[in-house]
């Protein structure tokens, strides 16, 4: 606009000349509450299922990958866990493009249905001793479908909630989406901890591990009800009314938003590595390699998830006040400085105290890394390709770092008799995240771009 100063914004950090119409649903309104609940529910289900699978990796390995070497069976189960991440980019692109063309709400309903069906199937698959090779084949198939659903779920929920948010509170609202992640962690770890106290190891191995998956499926009708009653986002509705939609969002994304894709990929890297390490690798490593009892390990995971859930809204709100960069960089630098000492103590003197100290460090740093992430990823893409861009960049990072981190860390740790592999993975991811955050000069993007043609416009 003539007469306005040009903000230091990268060309692909597209902004609109008017604020997003978030006032349509002001803070505290009934519609805002529904949006928070609808977006968080799917992430709750996704994380609940993924955490349960990771925490029960030893029991699952005995049922689907029996063998004389328990370490190899566990590695096979963790690899099956990682298989679900291979199809996430495919889901991110397909469901992201679907959401940009048909709406955020429709995408959320579709992804929650896919997650529910596959969760129920996992609970019902007979073990290897009954149906042979078909048992692991069916399990892997379910994980692949879950990966497709998860590829669209996280991005769909993030965009849905942030597009409902007032401009000045996008960080806070985006962080609320992550409450579903924290709640899924807490619920999964809590149920498994209770089952570990109530059932014998043999009962857990034979049938107890199926209970959390069955409970996850039982929650699906509630999620479907909530998501079917919430309205489409005002930003997307306004964009459609103005004719600002893309026939081929993916084509536009890869043609004109490559830099934003790389930023989104890098910004997500450390958050994913840290989450997978503390939620999946550390519990599996503590029970298998450090010979710690299951109940205290699950209790430590539950407490760490609680700290994460309580802290993440404060990190999101802080990013609204101080900017996305300072909050994320604080978490990254703190993790680099504190983690080596915690891992060293855990390996030398494995105990509940050293394990919970290590997981608490991860949890505290994760609040800073995750709190601003949803808002940041939404702000680097325009409305017409936002869901495609966010889902693709995040899913690619999850596939590379999330799926491989637990199994690779476990394999290298067992071979090297050291936790050096964990520190290397965190170091590489930290470098990518720091570079990605520093590459953006604009710390306080104030409004959304509607179309890719608005790139480089001035910010009001």
Helices 324-348 & 420-438 angle (0-180, nearest 10): 170
Q: What is the mean pLDDT of residues 352-356?
A: 90
Structure tokens at 298: 């699950």
pLDDT at 75 over 50: yes
- Tell the residue number behind the tokens 């709750």, with chain if given: 44
Give a yes or no: residue 90 inside a domain: yes
Answer whether residue 255 is part of any domain: yes
pLDDT reported for residue 7: 31
Q: What is the pLDDT of residue 18?
A: 36
Stretch 307-326: mean pLDDT: 92
- Contacts of 204 by beta carbon, 8 Å cutoff, 6+ apart: 59, 195, 196
Q: Model confidence over 82-110: pLDDT tens digits?
A: 787 888 999 999 999 999 988 898 898 89
Note the pLDDT of residue 327. 95
- Report the SS3 class of residue 59: helix
Any domain includes 164: yes
Q: Is residue 156 a part of any domain in this protein?
A: yes
Report which of 230, 227, 229, 223 is spatially closest to residue 116, judged by C-alpha positions: 223
Give the per-residue pLDDT at 65: 79
When divided into structural domains, the chain yields a total of 1
Q: How many helices, marked H, and strands, marked E, lie in the chain?
A: 23, 0
Helix (H) or strand (E) holding 217: helix 210-218
Is the pLDDT score of 383 beyond 80? yes
Distance CA 63, CA 125 (A): 10
Distances (CA, A) of 58 to 247, 289, 291: 46, 12, 12
Confidence of residue 248 (pLDDT cuts 50, 70, 90): confident
pLDDT digits (tens, 9 = 90+) for 436-449: 999 876 555 545 55
Query: At residue 460, does pLDDT exceed 90?
Result: no
Alpha-carbon distance of 236 to 245, in angstroms, equals: 9
Tell whether 258 is covered by a domain: yes
- Quote the CA–CA distance of 399 and 404 in Å, as a whole number: 7
Lowest pLDDT segment from 1-15, 37-51, 437-451 = 1-15
- The answer as to whether 35 is a domain residue is yes
What does the alpha-carbon distance between residue 415 and residue 180 come to, in Å, rounded to a whole number? 36
Between the two ends of the chain, the Cα-to-Cα distance in Å is 9
**Structure tokens given for 310:** 């309580």
- DSSP character at residue 351: S
* Alpha-carbon gap, residue 441 to 230, rounded angstroms: 35
Following CA atoms 271, 276, 281, 283 in sequence, which dihedral angle do they give, to the nearest 10 degrees?
100
Q: What is the per-residue pLDDT for 35?
A: 80
Percent of the chain with pLDDT over 90: 26
CA neighbours closer than 13 Å in the CB half-sphere of residue 442 = 22
User: Does the residue 7 lie in any domain?
Assistant: no
pLDDT interval class at 72 (50, 70, 90):
low
- Of 422 and 330, which is predicted with more confidence? 330
**Token digits of residue 296:** 């205290």
Q: Give the three-class secondary structure for 4.
A: coil
Domain that holds residue 351: 22-442+450-454
> Can you give the CATH number for the domain in which 397 is found?
1.20.1250.20
User: 69: which 2 tokens?
Assistant: 């070497």
277 is a domain residue: yes
Phi-psi region of 417 (alpha: psi -120 to 50; beta: other; left: phi over 0): left
CB atoms within 10 A of CB 66: 15
Residue 258 buriedness (CB in 10 A; 0-12 / 13-18 / 19+):
exposed
Residue 246: what pLDDT? 66
Mean pLDDT of the 336-352 span = 89
DSSP string, 24-58: GG-TT-HHHHHHHHHHHHHHHHHHHHHHHHHHTHH
Torsion (CA) 12, 16, 19, 25 in degrees, nearest 10: -80
Average pLDDT over the chain, rounded to whole? Answer: 81
Instruction: Give residue for tokens 């349509």.
Output: 24
């Amino acid at each position: 606009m003539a007469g306005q100063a040009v903000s230091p914004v990268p060309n692909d950090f597209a902004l609109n000349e008017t604020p997003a119409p978030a006032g349509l649903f002001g803070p505290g309104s009934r519609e805002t509450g529904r949006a928070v609940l609808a977006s968080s529910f799917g992430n709750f289900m996704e994380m609940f299922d993924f955490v349960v699978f990771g925490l029960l990796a030893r029991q699952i390995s005995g049922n689907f990958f029996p063998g004389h070497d328990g370490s190899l069976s566990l590695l096979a189960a963790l690899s099956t866990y990682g298989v679900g991440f291979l199809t996430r980019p495919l889901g991110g692109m397909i469901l992201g493009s679907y959401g940009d063309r048909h709406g955020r709400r429709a995408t959320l309903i579709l992804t929650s249905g896919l997650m529910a069906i596959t969760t129920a199937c996992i609970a019902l698959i007979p073990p290897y001793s009954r149906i042979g090779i078909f048992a692991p084949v069916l399990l892997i198939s379910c994980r692949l479908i879950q990966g497709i659903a998860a590829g669209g779920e996280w991005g769909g929920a993030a965009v849905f909630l942030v597009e409902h948010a007032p401009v000045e509170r996008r960080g806070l609202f985006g962080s609320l989406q992550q409450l579903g992640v924290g709640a899924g962690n807490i619920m999964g770890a809590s149920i498994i901890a209770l089952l570990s106290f109530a059932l014998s190891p043999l009962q857990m191995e034979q049938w107890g591990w199926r209970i959390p998956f069955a409970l996850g499926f039982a929650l699906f009708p509630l999620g479907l009800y909530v998501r079917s009653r919430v309205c489409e986002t005002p930003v997307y509705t306004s964009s459609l009314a103005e004719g600002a939609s893309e026939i081929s969002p993916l084509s536009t994304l890869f043609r004109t938003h490559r830099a934003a894709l790389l930023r989104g990929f890098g910004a997500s890297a450390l958050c994913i590595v840290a989450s997978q390490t503390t939620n999946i690798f550390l519990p599996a490593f503590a029970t298998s390699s450090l010979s710690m009892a299951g109940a205290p390990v699950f209790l430590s995971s539950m407490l760490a998830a609680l700290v994460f859930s309580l802290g993440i809204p404060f990190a999101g709100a802080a990013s609204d006040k101080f900017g996305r960069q300072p909050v994320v960089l604080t978490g990254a630098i703190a993790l680099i400085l504190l983690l080596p000492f915690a891992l060293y103590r855990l390996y030398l003197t494995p105990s509940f105290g050293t394990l919970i100290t290590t997981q608490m460090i991860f949890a505290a740093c994760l609040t800073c890394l995750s709190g601003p992430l949803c808002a940041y990823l939404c702000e680097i893409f325009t409305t017409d390709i936002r869901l495609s861009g966010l889902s693709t960049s995040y899913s690619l990072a999850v596939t590379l770092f999330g799926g491989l981190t637990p199994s690779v860390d476990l394999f290298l740790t067992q071979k090297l008799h050291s936790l050096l592999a964990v520190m290397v993975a965190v170091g590489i991811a930290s470098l990518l995240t720091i570079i990605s955050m520093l590459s953006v000069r604009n710390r306080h993007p104030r409004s959304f771009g509607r179309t890719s043609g608005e790139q480089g416009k001035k910010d009001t």
